[in-house]
Each structure stands twice: as structure tokens, then as C-alpha cells.
Amino acid sequence: MRAIIVGAGIGGLSAALCLRRIGWQVCVLEQTDQLGEIGAGIQISPNASRLLGTLGVLDRVGPAAFEPERIEMRLGRSGREVFSIPLREAAMARWGAPYLHLHRADLLAALMGVLREDSPDAVLTGKTVIGYTQEKQKIQADLADGSSVEADILIGADGIHSTIRDQMLGKQPPRFTGNVAWRATVPISSLGELAPPPTACVWVGPGRHAVTYRLRGGALINFVGVVEQQGWETESWTEQGRCEDVLADFSGWHPIITNLIRQADSHYRWALFDRAPLKQWTDGRAALIGDACHPMLPFLAQGAAMAIEDAWVLAESLKASTQPSQALQAYAAARLDRTRKVQAGSLANMRTFHHKHDLAYLPLWLIGKLMPGFIHSRQDWIYGLDLNQSANPQHG
């Protein structure tokens, strides 16, 4: 059996590895000419890291990963701790897999490395897919150069602006969420005593928040600053802004944040978009995964993790059925409720992070002091899902 995968991002490459694991041939079509160092840091929680471990990806990532000591919330202006609870050892003890910080480029390189060891010619770059055509027994990807590639199934892993989704469901623009994000990476060596702690830390405040954590074994600090803002809706990984604009957005914030902004060589910004949950992810022998079907705000740090879970459940569904169309429908049914819940949780976290008054965080401060295990328990439904142990893909 053979699968076409449209897009060589985290979801597409994870799908390729999961399908190879069950014996399928894969052809990954990527529109860019080469896979470069795009994006910045991502957080990989235990529900996804255990799957990457099974696929052999974590061994290849090696020292590029960073395991945060704790998970923290701090007030953005004063830096006062709202809560700080163990994460590094606790993640292994409670959820059986590590919580990792990675540079997106390092994870993509590891996924690609494992895939190329197994299937050296699986990824074709410079291939722009403009749609698909299917018959009862086959499906083909139609390319911009007039050629086509034929297979048994086609997986749209081509992001929030998915061409495959547009053909499947009709072209509908994503919705602007009213949030604009800044991102930067800074060598920790340039920050001195104002280096952020070795934690997964969210700094909260009225109408905005920031996230800091370490990458590449602790050598880099990743900064993401999210501001509620109207009037600028450009979605681009490469759009650069001005340092003074970031400083204005975080004026009066703790010196750890403002120093981090000042020390960054580049400040990238992008508008945050999402979509309402889709009711349909499949069309015969075509299916969607990742941001193509459930783009979400990054406030639960689950975008990459959900794509990796999608890839695993997709492969398990195909392994369990001899009818590709039925298997794809089973995959979608297995994933709809979970991804909708994560999308909703991400949106809810935006409201939590952006309270207008510091006193609104008093309940979280009390919980952190009196019942720190409660904060861990609130993540059990996400981090505790072990698809490795599920013989039935419906468990996803």
C-alpha cells in the first residue's frame, strides 16, 4: 500500500514514519525547495514524546532537547510567582515520558533523518500540489507542473491554509483570533543574571502574556510574546518587526522580559489564526491531519503534539482495516472529540493568561501552595494518553 503525504512539516513527517512502521510505502510532497531552519521553539509534552520515542526520533534529537525543571506562572510586571511545580522528574513519574523543549528545526531534522534512513527517496521537494483526483481504487495528487503522483490514500498535512482542505470542504479563510505573537531566540550567554529560569514559564498580564523556555540543551532562550491587537493580520514566519515595538507592547514588564527583548537580534511577529472545529476530515481516500483540520492557538502548547497523535492514530486505523476509506473515517472519528477539546482549552487559556487584575490569579496561587498536585492533575487528560498501549485506535 502506498500513501501520498502533502507537506513535510511535523505532522507530515510523523505520518510518514507511522505509516512506514506498519509497512506502507510513502511519498511526501513538499512545495519548498529545501527544508530550512524555520520557526523557533516548540514544547513536546509526554503524550507526544512517548510516540516520538517509539519512532526512534528522540534518540536522534539527543542533546538538542531540553527538559525543563518546573512549570511556572509569574506575573509579567513584578515577576512574582503565581505557582511553580516540578516537571522534569514529575513528568516521567506521572505520565511515563519526558516533557521536552525543542527547536522546530531540530525536531524536523530528526524526523527527516529517521525517515531517510528507512526510505531515502521518500521526500520530494519543490512539488506544489494543487489538488487531488480519485477513483474507486486509487487517488492521485495533481501538481502545479502538470504531473501527478498516484497512491492508495492521500494525506493533507499542509497546514492551516491547506489546499487539500479547500478542495475537500470549499475555500474558507481562517479567522483572526485578535492576537499577534512576537518570537525571538537569544543565546543565554548574552543574558547574564537576567536569564529566565530553566523552566516552562508563562508570564501573565492584562491583554498579553509571554512564554520563556530553553532550547538546544539550554544554550538558547526562546521567547514568545502574545498581545491582543487589532489592525495587523499578517501571518508569516519571516515577518520582522522592530525592537522598540516589542518593548512598547511589554512596557513596564519585568527586566527579565525587557532585557530578553533588547538582546534579541531579530524580532519576528505573526498574527494568530484558527478555525472552528471541522465536522469532516475525509473525502474517500483523502484525509487531513494537524493544522489542516484543527489549527489551534498555542496556549496549551499542543499544536505539534496533536499532529503527532493524528499520525499515530491514522496509521493504527489503517493497520486495523483492509478498506482505506473506512480506515480514514475511523481515524477521523477517533480524533474529533479530543482535538475539539484541546482547541477549546487553548482558547480558554488565553483568557486565563490575560486577566486584567493581578488579584484574579490569587486562586491559582493558593492552589499552587496548598495543592500543587491539582495543577498536574489538570493536565492528565492531555499528557496521560498513551496511544502506544492502545490496541484500538478509538482510544485516541
Alpha-carbon torsion (197, 200, 204, 207), positive or negative = positive
| H or E stretch covering 141 | strand 139-143
> Which among 213, 268, 331, 361 is annotated as catalytic?
213
Assess contact for 33 and 125: CB atoms under 8 A. Answer: yes
Q: How far is residue 347 from each of residues 227, 276, 302, 316, measured CA to CA in Å? A: 14, 11, 12, 29
Cell 494525506 appears where? Answer: 155
CA angle at residue 25 from 20 to 30, to 5 degrees?
A: 95
Question: Residue 66's closest CA among 220, 192, 193?
Answer: 220
- For residue 213, indicate whether it is catalytic: yes
How many other β-carbons are positioned within 10 Å of the β-carbon of residue 389?
9
Mode of pairing for the β-strands spanning 286-288 and 282-283: antiparallel
CA angle at residue 383 from 155 to 379, to 5 degrees?
A: 125
CA angle at residue 119 from 123 to 47, to 5 degrees?
A: 80
User: First vs last Cα of the chain: how many Å apart?
Assistant: 24
CA 149 – CA 136 distance, rounded (Å): 16
Active site residue ranges: 213
